[in-house]
Structure 1
Amino acid sequence: MNDVLNTPEVIRYTVLLVDDEVAILNSLKRLLRSQPYDVLLAENGQQALELLDKRPVDLVISDARMPTMDGATLLAEIHRRHPDTLRILLTGYTDMTMLAKAINEGRIYRYISKPWDDDELLLTLKQALSHQHSEKERVRLEQLTREQKDALVQLNLTLEKRVEARTGELQQTADMLDLAYEELKRSYVVSTEVFSLLINQRLPKGKQTNKTLIELVRACCSANLVEAYLAHDLTMAAALYNVGKLSWSDSMLSAPSDMLHSHDRDKYRSYPGTSESLLMSLEPMQDAARLIRHHQEHWDGGGFPDRLKGTAIPVGSRLLKLAVDFVELQCGLVLERSMNRDEVIMYLRKYGGRLYDPDMVEPFIQVCASYLTDITLADPSVQGLGTRDLKNGMVLARNLNADNGMLLLNAGKVMTTPLVDKLIAFEAMEGARYTVFVRTPEPAPA
């Protein structure tokens, strides 16, 4: 059954035989009976042309010598009227003039001599018709290819227009989504800042850190201390870094971390992880929560909660650590004594490479100097010294106040040996230790 289905379809051709001798026509007809040909007969040229006008013919075999219209003339006329019809001249003698005419004007495929060899004639017809079929198929395929190409060009033009239109629609949608997402991010930032103000209500006014911390972190982001993509998460982290402290008692909230007892110290060390846990359920807060978790890690690996070290600490957490300590050291939330800003700068420099990323300390200090105009240690010519390290000629860079707030010396005062001795004696009497911020005078030109 499969063999029957796969048998190629037999192509039938129409062959027209033209000869004024009926016996030759019948002889040729018998020879072609077993072939897949529909055979037509004509006894002269005019009759042949009439048949050709009525139906398509694939191949014509014409005798050369016929009355009224010879074979060469007939084949030339057939070439003019029906150029796709193959033409073969059958001749019983060699007439070079007629043969040349048949070739030049009739464009014959071949000529066959009488008497013919049956096998040779059948082979000639088979080759001629196969060639004709191949040529027609080539022309058909070329035409189909051109039509498909034209259709493809039109389709491409249509598709390009449709894609362009659809791309425009998608771009508009994407732009709207981007705007909505940006608005959502701004809403989250605003929400976190509002919530941070609620956290501050648990603290005395002098120990409320969140607002200052948010502004300082924003200044650092604007100065490109971290990659721009971190600014959003870092701002939210600054607003909510201490949300894990909400369950603490009022006394513990306001106590310096270095003065906490053992039980409270353990609770203190858990607050970054607690803060992260409270925020992780909010998907837009997850990256900020990770920064909060690691903002108490130390550069040397001695921090908490995971004892991360060096560059294993997220860069946003490293900056948040600097900002938190800068603010909390001034609020008395780290050490027993509140530091002024210049003392905090000295502290950050001292512990760069231990608590802080050493490459981030100085850029952070420069941002602080721009953001907070009363910091003097951002000036590299200013240093903070103990009273016993003061030398003649040093100039006071900022006012020196006693612990009780009393002004001892004005900024701009030049240090002398008697003045330094008085400061040392005053320290001994008060039981205090003062850091004096001074500029070392430039050496006189030689």
Structure 2
Amino acid sequence: MEEQMPTTLSHRPQVLLVDDEESILNSLRRLMRGQPYDVLLATSGAQALAIMALQPIDLVMSDARMPDMDGATLLAYVHEHYPHTTRIMLTGYADPSPIIKAINEGQIHRYLSKPWHDEELLLTLRQSLAYQYSERERLRLEQETREQNEQLKRLNASLEQHVASRTAELQQTADMLDLAYEELKHSYVTGTEVFSLLANLRLPIAKQTNRQIIELVRVYCKRHGVDESSGRDLTMAAALYNIGKLSWTDSMMTAPADLLHHNDRERYRGYPKQSETLLMTLDPMKDAARLILHHQERWDGNGFPDRLKGDAIPFGSRLLKLAVDFIELQRGLILERQMNSDEALVYIRNYAGRLYDPGMVEDFVQVCAAYLSDVSLADPLVKVLTTRDVAAGMILARNLNADNGMLLLNAGKVLNAALVEKLITFEAMEGAKYSIFVKVPQALAEPPAMSDGAKSQH
């Protein structure tokens, strides 16, 4: 027999009282008059089970000693066939045997003694029903969440079909997102990178910064053995450090910070806090959001938003400021004059101890030198190929981005024939020529060994 569960939040609880003495049942019914639940009475275990077979019962309170079927046997049956019904024993006997049997076989929630205290009994019932309601709400919400997840899966499955009916530009974007979908399932970090690159499409290419900052931070983490968790937070912070700027006007977003007028300058000083506020609601982003909040603090304590000084600034924030300023100086987003990479490094050196952690500057300069010299090419197995030359089994050595900045594939992705065909299609749609950095497995890099017979012919 399956238990019947209430299906709506407006369900009024049903309480079943079982005792072979009608005077006790009548006393309990009078005590419970006016309570926010309905009371049903049964003078035997058999009658109680007959009632439960006809309607859902939320709580059963049974006397321990009854003829034919005692309370412990009744509650054990209720536990087996109606496990979500709360079970309470009411006993007036000092012998603990019925209580022990009820606990072991009926797994009762509480037991009360006769004569009872009215307030204690009513409080026990209220607490038991409240707990039961909260558990049913939890189960209902879990089921609702599962159903919503299934609905989201169905919506995702139909997304490509809906997008296909849009314009050619939207079709191209949808295909790029489809290509990145597998990567998004495995990496929250990749998701933040995709979002940052989408947000960057609002800016002209010459003013886009996030991709270069991400790559620079990754080079630093790799060279310094930064642990995986910290590296992930730094990468996400690099991807979304300027998300708080998206509400700015186009002219303010592209203007050098040094030339902003008073009102705009105040708004500029608020963007780290705005970025942190947007990201703090996402639990996996909380540590990255803290790095973003403090990435405009200065070593001498004259930064913003909290004027932190020296080592009080989180290490990741100090690194992020170095990377952001190095790239933004070259984009003309800090000073009116747009610097080259060497000038940007000289600027950073000049302001060590004022803007930047002096203990990190020279280390960072070396990382920038490695970043700018394409150190990946120092590996003899790393090749730069066209889409027509790549083959299944090759591994991406560097993120692959479309000409408009959209992330197509993440570094470390093993290529297969289907991905290669999609890359060729995207390249043709963009009218572009991709340079793909791949690591060629040893088996593909070396020619097959000749047999002894073949050697003898040469």
TM range (shorter): 0.3 to 0.5
Q: Which has the higher contact order (CA 8 A, sep 6+)?
A: 2
Compare CA radii of gyration and give the structure with the larger one: 1
Q: Give me the TM-score of the superposition, normalised by structure 2.
A: 0.41
Q: Give me the TM-score of the superposition, normalised by structure 1.
A: 0.42
